[in-house]
């Protein structure tokens, strides 16, 4: 039932509240991130959607709206979009949440590759700092009570350099996203690395559910 959708999402992310959606271009990563924000809004929770530019989000909007429908004005009012240019900008925003109200329940960072693409190995500490801040912020948000779980989820175009991949996987639960050739347009396969479990996201009637 539709009312169970947020709870099923919560169970799906119970062991991975700080996660990375990784996959090739156009496999649905941005749509999945935004759908998490919409699901949070359906529970009355605020969320943050972070991406490099307005153009980036507008480029993905037609596909997202075609799949899930245009979100209601009430839902959109609870999704706070930030167009940030650097890892430092993201770090400042995350740190500021400790003094914010009302607190968001979802932090979604899209197109992480745009922020770390030119990052040299000598500056991987900046990436590790961001990952640590995500864990710290998710833990802080989880202390407040709400129907929807506190999540911090990033999306990254995969693959990346070995050094960056090792840094990311040390901190974030990796979920590999791919379109299933035989699946409906509303389905995604998400494989949790290190286990044989394959999770299926189904965007049916505007709901994101772990099956």
Render pLDDT for 50-80 as a digit per residue (tens, 0 to 9): 999 999 888 877 666 555 567 788 888 999 9
Rounded to an integer, what distance in angstroms lies between the CA atom of residue 29 and that of residue 41? Answer: 19
- Give the helix/strand (H/E) hosting 189: strand 187-192
Q: In this predicted model, which residue has the larger pLDDT, 67 or 22?
A: 22
- pLDDT for position 203: 44
Rounded to an integer, what distance in angstroms lies between the CA atom of residue 137 and that of residue 97? Answer: 8
Q: In this predicted model, which residue has the larger pLDDT, 182 or 101?
A: 101
- Checking if the pLDDT of 144 tops 90, the result is no
SS (H, E, C) 138-176: HHHHHCCCCCCCCEEEEEEECCCCHHHHHHHHHHCEEEE
pTM greater than 0.85 (yes/no): no
């Amino acid at each position: 039932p539709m009312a169970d959708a947020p709870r099923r999402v919560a169970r799906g992310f119970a062991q991975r509240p700080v996660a990375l959606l990784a996959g090739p271009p156009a496999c649905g990563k941005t749509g999945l991130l935004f759908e998490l924000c919409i699901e949070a809004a359906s529970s009355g929770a605020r969320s943050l959607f972070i991406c490099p530019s307005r153009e980036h989000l507008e480029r993905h909007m037609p596909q997202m709206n075609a799949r899930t429908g245009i979100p209601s004005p009430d839902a959109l009012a609870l999704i706070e979009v930030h167009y940030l240019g650097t890892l430092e900008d993201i770090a400042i925003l995350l740190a500021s949440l400790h003094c914010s109200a009302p607190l968001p329940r979802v932090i979604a960072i899209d197109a992480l590759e745009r922020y770390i693409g030119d990052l040299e190995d000598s500056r991987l500490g900046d990436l590790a700092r961001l990952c640590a801040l995500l864990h710290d912020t998710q833990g802080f948000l989880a202390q407040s009570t709400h129907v929807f779980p506190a999540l911090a989820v990033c999306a990254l175009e995969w693959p990346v350099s070995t050094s960056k991949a090792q840094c990311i996987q040390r901190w974030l639960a990796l979920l590999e996203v791919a379109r299933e050739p035989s699946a409906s347009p509303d389905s995604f396969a998400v494989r949790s690395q290190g286990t044989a479990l394959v999770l299926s996201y189904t965007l049916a009637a505007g709901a994101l559910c772990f099956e």
